[in-house]
Amino acid sequence: MKLHEQTISKLQDLPEPLVKEVSEYIDYLVWKHSSQNTLSSQESLKLVNSDFSSYLSNLEDYENCLARGEIQW
pLDDT band at 62 (very low <50, low <70, confident <90, very high): confident
pTM of this prediction? 0.46
Q: Residues 22, 33: contact at Cβ < 8 Å? A: no
**What pLDDT digit, counting tens, does each position of 28-59 carry?**
888 878 766 565 666 666 666 665 666 677 78
Is the distance from CB of 65 to CB of 71 less than 8 angstroms? yes
Q: Tell me how many degrees the CA angle 42-20-37 measures, rounded to the nearest 5.
A: 30
Per-domain residue ranges of the chain: 1-37, 38-73
Q: Where are the alpha helices (DSSP H) in 1-73?
A: 3-13, 16-32, 41-68
For 69: left if phi > 0, alpha if psi spans -120 to 50, otherwise beta; the answer is: left
Non-local (6+) Cβ contacts of 70 within 8 A are none
